[in-house]
Amino acid sequence: EVQLVESGGGLVKPGGSLRLSCAASGFTFSSYSMNWVRQAPGKGLEWVSSISSSSSFIYYADSVKGRFTISRDNAKNSLYLQMNSLRAEDTAVYYCARVGSTGTLFDYWGQGTLVTVSS
Amino acid sequence: QSALTQPRSVSGSPGQSVTISCTGTSSDVGGYNYVSWYQQYPGKAPKLMTYDVSKRPSGVPDRFSGSKSGNTASLTISGLQAEDEADYYCCSYAGSYSWVFGGGTKLTVL
Residue A90: phi and psi, rounded to 5, are -85, -5
By CA distance, what is A4's nearest residue in B?
B45
What are the pLDDT digits (tens) for A59-103?
999 999 999 999 999 999 999 999 999 999 999 999 999 998 888
B1 pLDDT higher than 80 = no
Contact list in A for residue B97 (CB cut-off 8 A) is 50, 52, 57, 59
Question: Hey, are the CB atoms on A44 and B103 less than 8 Å from each other?
Answer: yes
Distance between B110 CA and the closest CA of chain A, angstroms: 22
| Closest listed residue to residue A15, CA positions, set A101, A86, A75, A82 | A86
In tens, the pLDDT along B29-59 reads 999 999 999 999 999 999 999 999 999 999 9
Q: Within 10 A of B8 (CB to CB), how many other CB atoms are there?
A: 8
Give A13 to chain B, closest Cα distance, Å. Answer: 24
